[in-house]
Structure 1
Amino acid sequence: MNQLTRSRDSELLTLPTFGSFLRWLRDDRRMSRERLAVSAGVSASYVTHLEWGDRDHPARAVVESLVDCLDRVRALTTTERRHLFDLAGLPITSTPTVDQLRAGISDDALRILDAHRGGVAGYFDARGNILALNNAAQSMLPGLSVGENGLHWLFGSETARQVFVDWDDIARATVSGLRGRIGTFGHADWPEQLLDELGVYPEFCSIWNAGEVTFTSELPPIRLRESDAARPVGLTVQVFDVDVVDYPGWLRAFVGTRRDDPVARMTIM
């Protein structure tokens, strides 16, 4: 009778830590602790404490200095840089432009949108900026175009109110979802700017000041009007995060299919 046995090698497996990965990067560049410490402006004993896990949460300035020193010997890949900051518990705080995020979407990822023939699909960022749409989405959501902000379209376009039969429910769920997303970014600069822009819409202000927050990707049941349809069209749409190494948490996608039932669930923002 065969019996599964636990390999003794499994006892050697350890979880990744900031210190172990820092040491791996340093050894891979054949740098001594002293050389790294002098270049980074810290003591060699401090580097030792980091590598042995005695200092689990270094300050951002320290990590950036260590990265710069390692980078000068041999450039870190974007993956290595992201992993080091992740292990330090320091989120990447730089705010990407729409063009930078669009550049992070691969050609294969764009082709996936076209594979959903007859169904809506697209990419958008945490601020609601539209990064890519397939033909069905452009047809069923007129006026919502690549490079524009979906929140401005929802609150500032009369077309959006005509497209969404249940516009009020969609607006409330969208704003509460925005509040939840803003909280995940910590002290970023873009939320205040976005709120200043959206503050011109009285209905947005009213919903925002109600204080409701959600983290779900599911909106209330909605119906979409199409000009050539006798009755509202239902869609079942899923929303999910797409990881871009340089800008974690920024990219999202929606994929939806039509339903015979005129009432369906959909999430866009």
Structure 2
Amino acid sequence: MQSALWSVAGGGSTGSTLPLWFSWYPGSHSPKPWRSFKGILLAVNAGYSASGEIEADDQLLAPNLADFLRTHRTARRPDYPRGLSRPALAAACDVSASYIAQIEQREKTSPSPEVVDAIARALRLTPAERQHMHNLAAPKTSGPRTHSPLSVAEMRELITEDLRAAADDLTPHLSGYVDERWNVLWANQIYEAAYPRLLEVVNILVWFFLVPESRDVMMEWEDEARLTVNWFRWHMGRYQNPQWALDLLRQLSSCEAFRTMYLAERVDFDRHQPLMHLRDPDTREPYSVRVRITDIPGVDTPFQWFIGIKLPFSGPPSLPAQ
């Protein structure tokens, strides 16, 4: 069963899903220092953010086993207020402390599946985190679907007139098509109005962190944004850090909110609750959306149909006042 923020199937043995938003600029293959989308000026990997200038050394690193292990080992928990020491973790996994150190220092990048499972048990990782750790430890291989994907323009050619009509027929509910890199390929007017300027920037993560209107309409912006980042981290690990994902990571490195969520080293497959709570950008009235995701059959390149059933607001009473 799929769970979704507005997700795209993540695949893998866990049957994961990924958020319905993502990409680089349409038709772009390299980062641009500044780019304007119909009045939206975005600072894109130019070393600037709303808070000022960032240094090149602050560029975020792609998901890797060393950082993942170190972050989770040193995380505080009731039985280990200062985190787990290397010797304690090593003893629980029946390996040496020096072996754990070698993994954290990037000297050993592909421990055996048995060792990964032992570490996951000792650190009490979730099923998603365990699979992510296996992905990070797997030998690196190139895949054409993830390393040389179709451009946004090419993906949009797959959206036929029948598919557009089917989405329009769902009015007054939200409906659109999204690829597995979180590019919005096409959407009906209800969807477009619900997420202001999303179709202008194309990518959902870009919209979340670089378009201020996202905070106005997403009533639980922080929860939804964090879940999206966690999905993104999972996606990068699964596809072994393809270039399109590295470009996006570089673009968002100047955003402090993204950095904080990304550096937490969390991965997720499930929403915190089944409904998305939105605010109408014109009337400011709150409402709720039940998200449903359907695979599009008969196409070689995967993309999905997002359906958001509009419902009366049913979120926490405190949300509308925030």
Q: Call closer, same or farther: CA 1:252–1:178 in 2, change over 3 Å.
A: farther
Once superposed, which parts of structure 1, at least 4 consecutive aligned residues long, lie more than 6 Å away?
Answer: none
Distance 2:167 2:240 in 1: 31
Counterpart of 1:178 (choices 232, 256, 259) is 232
SS in 2 for 1:193: helix
Aligned to 2:278: 224
Change (3 A) 1:244 1:161: farther
- Call closer, same or farther: CA 1:235–1:187 in 2, change over 3 Å: closer
Partner of residue 262, structure 1: 314
For 1:198 and 1:175, locate their aligned partners in 2 and report how far apart those are by CA, in whole Å: 11
Q: Is the 8 A contact 1:129 1:148 kept in 2?
A: yes
User: For residues 136-170 of structure 1, what are the alpha-carbon distances to aligned partners after superposition, in whole Å with 9 as ceiling and x for unaligned?
Assistant: 01112111115621211111111110101111011
Matches within 5 A, 1:75-86: none
Aligned residue in 2 for 1:158: 212
TM-score where L is the length of structure 2: 0.49
Q: Map of 1:45-194 to 2, 5 A cutoff?
A: 92-93=145-146, 94-145=148-199, 148-186=202-240, 188-194=242-248
Shift of 1:102: 0.8
TM-score, normalised to structure 1's length?
Answer: 0.58
Rg larger in 1 or in 2?
1
For 1:252 and 1:159, how far apart are their aligned partners in 2? 25
8 Å contact 2:216–2:281 — kept in the other structure? Answer: no
CA contact (8 A) 2:196 2:281 kept: no
CA offset at residue 110 of structure 1?
1.7
State whether residues 286 and 313 of structure 2, in contact with CA within 8 Å, keep that contact through their aligned partners in structure 1: no
Higher relative contact order (CA 8 A, sep 6+): 2
Check if 1:233 corresponds to 2:279: no
- State the SS of the aligned residue for 2:185: strand
Contact 1:133 1:146 in 2 (8 A): no
Contact 2:218 2:279 in 1 (8 A): yes
How far is 1:228 from its partner?
Answer: 4.8
Deviation at 1:105, TM superposition (A): 2.1
CA, structure 1 residues 142+187, in 2 after alignment: closer, same or farther (shift >3 Å)?
closer
Correspondence for 2:120: none
Change (3 A) 1:180 1:242: farther
The CA RMSD measured in Å over matched residues stands at 2.5
Q: 1:215 & 1:167 partners in 2: Cα distance?
A: 18
Identity of aligned residues (%): 29
Three-state SS of the structure 1 residue aligned to 2:178 is strand
Aligned residues: 173
- Contact kept in structure 1, 2:276 and 2:291, CA below 8 Å: no
Mapping 1:204-223, distance limit 5 Å: 204-216=258-270, 218=271, 220=273, 221-223=275-277
Long gaps (5+) in structure 2:
1-142, 317-322
Aligned partner of 1:198 among 252, 257, 260: 252
Deviation at 1:192, TM superposition (A): 1.0
Alpha carbons of structure 1 residues 167 and 144: separation in structure 2 relative to 1, 3 Å: same
**Alignment deviations for residues 62-114 of structure 1 (CA, whole Å, 9 cap, x no partner):** xxxxxxxxxxxxxxxxxxxxxxxxxxxx7644311001111122221221110
From the two aligned structures, give the one with the greater strand fraction. Answer: 2
Q: What is the Cα deviation at residue 201 of structure 1? A: 1.2
